[in-house]
Amino acid sequence: MQNIQKWIEKIPVMEDIVDLKPTVWINPNKKTDKEAWENIDFTENDIYEADQRLRRFAPLLTEYFEDTEESNGIIESPLRKIEKMEPLLKETSDIKGNLFLKMDSHLAIAGSIKARGGIYEVLYHAEKLALENSLITLKDDYSELANEKNREFFSKYTIQVGSTGNLGLSIGITSAALGFNVVVHMSSDAKQWKKDLLRSKGATVVEYDGDFTKAVEQGRIQSAKDPNSYFVDDENSVTLFMGYAVAALRIKKQMEDLNIKADKDHPVFFYIPCGVGGSPGGVTFGLKKVFGDNAHVFFVEPTHAPSMLIGMATGLNDKVSVQDFGIDGKTEADGLAVGTPSRFVGTIMDTLLSGIFTIEDKELFNYMRKLNKSEGIQIEPSACAAFEGVVKLFEYESAKNYLDKYDLMDKLDNSTHIAWATGGNLVPKEVMNTYLETYL
Ligand SMILES: *Cc1c(COP(=O)(O)O)cnc(C)c1O
């Protein structure tokens, strides 16, 4: 346990956090683009490299996944204006600017943001093995990796991952398709349908009583016992992180196509649901590289699992858990049910991130119904956290102070707000229907 009283004196917002009251933490360490990168080792080039690797694999992905055919093996989601949702959010908040939905909920193969990092890391590992063992060269058509002999080669290797669900789906589905053995270590809060789906694809699912942190720990231990096993480490993986970051290059192009300006007079706000921090962190790293000071990025976490907020606000990062603050980590947002944040994401976000909102579970379901009713789009509860950022930016005093501090108040009519819908497309219809009636 931490000395909670001491932390509240130092960081007043911690009082709301331990009381489980929805709130916002504004990052006092955020820096301008000129200074923000001084202590960050990764560069824009790392993102371009990841993008190139994904392009090399595009022909192979079309071999295995029908839903990537139309885009020639490039996995990307639509950016959609959600005009009909706007008035529903404006019922309770004085929102200004234009509202968009980044629909990672509908990404091919995995139906969540994990289709970015997760698939990328499996491909990264497959390429490394394939190059080291001369199955291909960098110049070859990678669809060769789908032939019998190469699949046989991959079948001697195992990929393992610990997950609350969606990362497991992404890694499990992709690894099995390429011919790897794959073991997914799942926390007790992982949904039954996700385990069923994985098993149907040929993945081995191991279940644990504990939370996400325990599943990851067990996965790491089991994988270390086998020299032919590779562990995808959601808490520490730079490879995952770079896979997520590629999103920024893609959305820049989409914004240009939609005539969405991002400049000094046209600020763009992004709101991304956060669990262990890898996916929102990777995307944010990319967005800040691409848009600099014109991008204002906020994470959103459940009031019962504000792990990244506590890690960043205290500066203790992965040395602290929500349980250390008497918070149980239990939430309906299974993708965000994480007690301890990533080891390295918090330190990279330190100078880049604008802040973190927290949301109550019941609000996730209210946003979900509003989106379904107005736009006919279904996303999972975790993903709905994004809307809380849009709404509360215009409501909380400390958020308004942020807008003031960065001289944004008179630019809000020209602003764009992008809610990052992180998952939903693989949720079975019956489960989605139950969600739509939860917390009514
Ligand atoms: C995994 C996930 C997140 C958060 O990603 P982290 O890398 O754990 O921070 C958000 N939403 C959904 C639907 C997810 O599956």
Residue-level pLDDT, tens digit, the chain, 440 residues? 889 999 999 999 999 999 999 999 999 999 999 999 999 999 999 999 999 999 999 999 999 999 999 999 999 999 999 999 999 999 889 999 999 999 999 999 999 999 999 999 999 999 999 999 999 999 999 999 999 999 999 999 999 999 988 999 999 999 999 999 999 999 887 889 999 999 999 999 999 988 888 889 999 999 999 999 999 999 999 999 999 999 999 999 999 999 999 999 999 999 999 999 999 999 999 999 999 999 999 999 999 999 999 999 999 999 999 999 999 999 999 999 999 999 999 999 999 999 999 999 999 999 999 999 999 999 999 999 999 999 999 999 999 999 999 999 999 999 999 999 999 999 999 999 999 999 98
Decide the pairing of beta strands 295-302 and 268-273: parallel
Rounded-to-integer distance, Cα 309 and Cα 274, Å = 10
Q: Locate tokens 């911690």: which residue?
A: 14
Q: Pocket of ligand 1, candidates 114, 169, 387, 427: which has the most ligand atoms within 8 Å of its Cβ, to mutate? A: 114
Task: Provide the edge-to-edge strand list for the sheet that holds 229-232.
Answer: 204-207, 181-186, 158-163, 229-232
Q: How far is the CA of 54 from the centre of ligand 1 (A)?
A: 21
Give the binding-site residues of ligand 1, using a 6 Å CB cut-off: 112-114, 166, 273-280, 335-336, 380, 382-383, 422-423
Q: Hey, what are 218's tokens? A: 């067990």
Give the ligand 1 atom nearest the CA of 244: 7
* Locus of tokens 């764009």: 416
Q: pLDDT of 384-415, one tens digit each?
A: 999 999 999 999 999 999 999 999 999 999 99
Alpha carbon of 324 to ligand 1 centroid (Å): 22
Q: Tell the residue nearest (CA) to atom 10 of ligand 1.
A: 273
pLDDT number for residue 164: 83
Q: Per-residue pLDDT tens for 21-78?
A: 999 999 999 999 999 999 999 999 999 999 999 999 999 999 999 999 999 999 999 9
Q: Ligand 1 test: best mutation among 77, 105, 112, most atoms within 8 Å of CB?
A: 112
Radius of gyration (C-alpha) of the chain in whole angstroms: 21
Q: Ligand 1 centre and the CA of 332: distance in Å?
A: 13
Distance 113 CA to ligand 1 centre (A): 7
C-alpha of residue 186 to centroid of ligand 1, in Å: 15
Residue whose Cα lies nearest atom 2 of ligand 1: it is 335
Check if the beta carbon of residue 190 is closer than 8 Å to that of residue 257. Answer: no
pTM to 2 decimal places: 0.98
CA of 6 to the centre of ligand 1 (A): 31
In angstroms, the CA 286 to CA 317 distance is 21
User: Closest residue (by CA) to atom 11 of ligand 1?
Assistant: 422
Which amino acid is it at 385?
A: A
